[in-house]
Structure 1
Amino acid sequence: MNGQGALGAAKRLCALALAFALAACASTTTTGIRIKERDFQALERAMASHIDVLASEEFAGRRPGTDGERKTLDYMRGEMERAGLVSGTNDPAHPWFAPVKLASVTGGSSEIEFVKGRRKVKLDPAQAAAFTDRRRGLLEGGELLFVGFEGERVPDDMIRGRVVVMLSEPGISPGRRAQLRRAEPAAVLTVVGDAATIAELRDSRSRERLVLEEDGPDGLDLFVTDEAMSAALGEKAWLALLEEAVEGQAGEGFTPRVLDQRINIDARSNRREVPSHNFIARLPGTDSSAGAILLLAHWDHFGTCGPEDAADRLCNGAVDNASGIALMMELAKRLKRGKPLVRDVYVLGTTAEEWGLLGARAFAEEPPIPLESFVAAFNFDTVAIGPRGSPVGFIGQGMTPLDPFVLQAIADAKREVAPSELTEPFLQRQDGWALLQRDVPAILLSNAFGDAARFEAFLEGDYHQASDEPGEIELGGSVDDLLLHELLIRRLADPKVYP
């Protein structure tokens, strides 16, 4: 979460203190949502029906920019319009569907050259690769900054405009690259172990990926083997840098070093436009000036993504994330059928979550109302995992003023909070993160994290595979989640309870 400095932190602390006091008052007069068994089962059947449609062969895996997208958006509009919701785009030219400009990037080639005076060392393509999401990324005479194993502790002004050279660490490098990228370097160069890693990276980048069409300055990513770095800088100089980095990692102090070499980079890719859309509906409240609550779930999946020799290559995306869309739509219907809410409720179906929260990021850039108008946001992702009565995973706990209301609602629903160890790794891997970074109070509450064994079995089995398809899907925990959110949203939609 990027925050807004000391003033923003102080405001959040004050809001959190006020929220705890108000929640204590509200809890004396509200209890959990009561529902008859037949109505509970009816919700399970309704969600299963949505999943059967959205994850059907006809919808072809819901890949952005395809006929599957059009069918998905039309289905969601039909469901929400019949329920009495209206378009939430606030754009008469684009009702219901807010355009999101994506680009498809595949393949490419690159040349990397180190320069010191008149000496030039051109790296072997088997030992080095550069990638860009643009058609061409070109850098001449880039200044090199060696940061070793460092990331966020390196001053931004030292990174900005330079080619940052970092050493790879399994499981840590992606996050460190993202940290460095935020300081706007000319490129990030990651030193990897061997040529096999370069080959794997080239193979991965040869497959289509989606990016936002207008996604800031060109981000050059370089990967160079240890052997190639030694050849380019000289074995003695490179070993000295490695020794400094290791000593720094051991706590003996490390100072980033500007190298006496320069680097030339020429990276190319194949790129085409992919028009896509976010789905936005609105349940009007009695006072639109009182702020709004946001429900969101990503509608997209991968389309055809199985191995070329597989009998079934279609990744239907039943649990991930037809189940989240199903829960969100049925929740919106219950909110519409019940007592009118004071605040508006927006229903957002995001595109291209699977490629880096792209739809959520686009929404945050161009929201239908000012972002500060959203007093709370609830994300629904991969919800059909746990059975009825499962504990609740709470992603975003401790990061918004919503905590006391959430914890009280969980207690009133007679459920428990799942261990944070299960949820912490997923904070930045779900759409709510794109909103949290813009100071929108966004959280994810889900049964999926209530049973570590079940969740891990899904991740190791059907997750992002052709086997994630309709059938015998557990929905008891999903209905529990729906009712929990209904209870919580009815409280938060009242400015007298949650200013």
Structure 2
Amino acid sequence: MSETGVAGAGARAMRFMALALLLVLSACVTAPSDSRIKESEFAALEARFTQHIDVLASEEFGGRRPGTIGETKTLDYLRREFESAGFVSGTNDPAHPWNAPVVLASVTGGESRIEFQIGRRKVELEAGEAAAFTNRRRGLIEQGELAFVGFGGGNVGQDIVRGRVAVFLAGEPQAAAETRRTLLERGAVAVMAVLSDGSRIERMRAQRSRERLELAVDVDDQLSLFVTEVGMARALGAKAWEELRAAANAESGFSAVKLNARITVEATAQRREVPSHNFIARLPGTSPDAGAILLLAHWDHFGTCGPEDAADRLCNGAVDNASGLALMIELGKRLAKGPPLGRDIYVLGTTAEEWGLLGARAFAEEPPIPLESIVAAFNFDTVAIGPRGSAVGFIGEGRTALDEVIRQAVADAGRELVPRERAEPFLQRQDGWALLQRDVPAVVVSNAFGDEERFRAFMSSTYHQASDEPGKLELGGAVDDLFLHEMLIRRLADPKQYP
């Protein structure tokens, strides 16, 4: 190496040491480790968490179901807490300050009639043999043509299914759902899954008898059709159906065929629109052009959801997710009271997470700021589980550019990361997933996965049950999470530390 190279390397080393020292010093200033937290401060935070949970999960709030008085009370509570801390509306919509509209559709139950016709012969299938479901008030197919596509593999051409009802032999539900999507994309007007028996039809009918929520703009127009093999044999004739099954299972391969039959289907459901809202607040930073940090937690729960004969039917949602809201509120207050932050801090309280991340999906569809400007998003969900000192679960590990800064903050807080496989199964079951799909770096860093025994006990006995009530909750890990996120956010909100 030349002398110039040696001198350059020395200068670079000095600059690196200076930068490392600066980062260490800044970390000490902005985020004290657990050893520097006073017991009185920790206890005070636990008490404030309890106060928030007691209100949000109270009988008065009615289980925070979207579209109810419980929603109104929850949104008013969030606004009072954040506005008093110095936050402003984050909707960036003067017509809808603080609360961004999300129109949901409530769909319940329904009846169906399915009739096959071959020549002049008509066969109407019985309830145990077939069912059709719709998310609209009425779905109808009259004298539709049919195409049998075997197991619905990738070799099914558009020409055979376009404009027809595609009939396929269904396996596991997840694989069958993927086959349905593929056939619809290739132009099928509807898809009929052939099941081995009627047990799955009865389970689906029971599920459909309960109310479910969808985004109103996203309600599936397509009929979902299901029929048993007994029903197919009765409609087409036992010999004709057995020949079709044998051809689909032949090792030599199978080519989809048009059936010499037509089908008439009518399905109904009870459907109504449910106005709801996402709560959005903003803490202005000194360098708003440098992007934003997003904090999010779902505010909704199920309302009345216990069995009809139960003494207590109200699902209060104390742990899930009044505890996440409590953490987000107190974290927001600490960020507002501390040294000014460079980047804007946005707070998002999502609706209808329990129904399929609907509020988060609505936010991603119509964000108040460009999604690409969000530097990091932290989701708080079901945090009242682990005790103080719990290890940390990291959902989203390996999927964003945040891994290193999160690992460093966890180490600086004196905590440990749990094995990745413990948290990863919940990746698609939390609001951050709706943002990750839009390339927003969204993660969950939570004590909930730190104590596996406590987590399993909650999931098996309290999760989505009337027993998830306020009371003597474990909040030590939640307060730990607050300090960890304060450290993380102060680092990430500084454009100099995190360009």
Quickly name the TM-score band, shorter chain normalised: 0.7 to 0.9
Q: Does the CA contact (< 8 Å) of 1:146 and 1:256 recur in 2?
A: yes
Deviation at 1:102, TM superposition (A): 1.0
Match of 1:439 in 2: 439
Residues 155-194 of structure 1 correspond to what in structure 2 (within 5 A)?
Answer: 163=165, 165=167, 167-169=169-171, 172-173=174-175, 176=178, 180=182, 183=185, 186-194=189-197
**Counterparts of 1:275 and 1:232, CA distance in 2:** 43
Quote the residue 1:132 is aligned against: 134
2:69 is aligned to 67
Structure 2 match to 1:415: 415
**CA RMSD across the alignment:** 2.9
**Residue 4 of structure 2 corresponds to which residue in structure 1?**
none
What is the CA deviation profile of residues 403-462 of structure 1, one whole-angstrom value per residue up to 9, with x for unaligned ones?
111122112222222222222221111111111111111111111122222212111101
Does the aligned pair in 1 maintain the 2:100–2:279 contact within 8 Å?
A: yes
Asked whether 1:56 is paired with 2:58, we answer yes
Q: State the distance in 1 between where 2:435 and 2:21 align.
A: 28
Mapped contact 1:142–1:264 kept (Cα < 8 A): no
Question: Matched residues in 1 for 2:158 and 2:372: separation?
Answer: 30
Radius of gyration: which is bigger? 2
Counterpart Cα distance in 1 of 2:87 and 2:373: 19
Matched, 1:225 2:228: yes
Find the residue that maps to 1:148 and give its secondary structure: coil
Distance 1:456 1:81, change over 3 A: same
Partner of residue 89, structure 2: 87
Give the match's secondary structure for 1:108: coil
Query: Can you list the C-alpha shifts for 1:238-287, whole angstroms capped at 9, x where unaligned?
Result: 5566567778xxxx897673553554432211111111111111111112
For the residue of structure 1 that corresponds to 2:111, the secondary structure is strand
Aligned twin of 1:315: 315
Length-normalised TM-score, structure 1: 0.86
Give the whole-Å Cα distance in 2 for the aligned partners of 1:380 and 1:353. Answer: 12
Query: 1:271 and 1:288 mapped to 2: Cα distance?
Result: 43
Instruction: Output the CA distance in 1 between the equivalents of 2:255 and 2:403.
Output: 40
Which ranges in structure 1 are unaligned for 5 or more consecutive residues?
1-22
Residue 488 to residue 272, structure 1, CA distance change in 2 (3 Å): same
1:132 alignment partner AA: T
Q: 1:189 to 1:178 in 2, by over 3 A?
A: closer
| Distance in 2 separating the partners of 1:391 and 1:255 | 53
> Partners of 1:118 and 1:49 in 2: how far apart?
71
1:343-382 matches, cutoff 5 A:
343-382=343-382
Mean CA deviation greater in 355-364 or 23-32: 23-32
Please list the CA deviations of residues 284-339 of structure 1 after superposition, one character each: whole Å capped at 9, or x if unmatched. 11122111111111101111111111100100000111111111111111111111
How many residues get paired? 471
Matches within 5 A, 1:33-432: 33-34=32-33, 35-115=37-117, 120-140=122-142, 141=144, 143-144=146-147, 146=149, 148=151, 163=165, 165=167, 167-169=169-171, 172-173=174-175, 176=178, 180=182, 183=185, 186-215=189-218, 217-235=220-238, 238-239=241-242, 257-260=256-259, 263-432=263-432
Decide whether aligned partners of structure 1 residues 273 and 288 sit closer, same or farther in structure 2, where only a CA change above 3 A counts: same
Q: Which residue of 1 aligns with 2:5?
A: none
Question: Would the aligned equivalents of 1:105 and 1:269 in 2 still touch at CA under 8 Å?
Answer: yes
- Using the TM superposition, name which of 445-454 and 176-185 deviates more: 176-185
User: Percent of aligned pairs with the same residue?
Assistant: 65
Query: Does the 8 Å contact 1:298/1:349 carry over to 2?
Result: yes
Note the alpha carbon deviations across 1:10-52, whole angstroms, 9 max, x for none: xxxxxxxxxxxxx989865535533222212211111111110
Q: Residues 135 and 220 of structure 2 are in contact (CA less than 8 Å); yes or no, is this contact kept in structure 1?
A: no
- The whole-number CA distance in structure 2 between the counterparts of 1:480 and 1:414 is 10
Measured against aligned partners, the alpha-carbon deviations of 1:51-76 in whole angstroms (never above 9, x if no partner) come to: 10000000010111111110011011
C-alpha change, 1:171 and 1:189, in structure 2 (3 Å) is closer
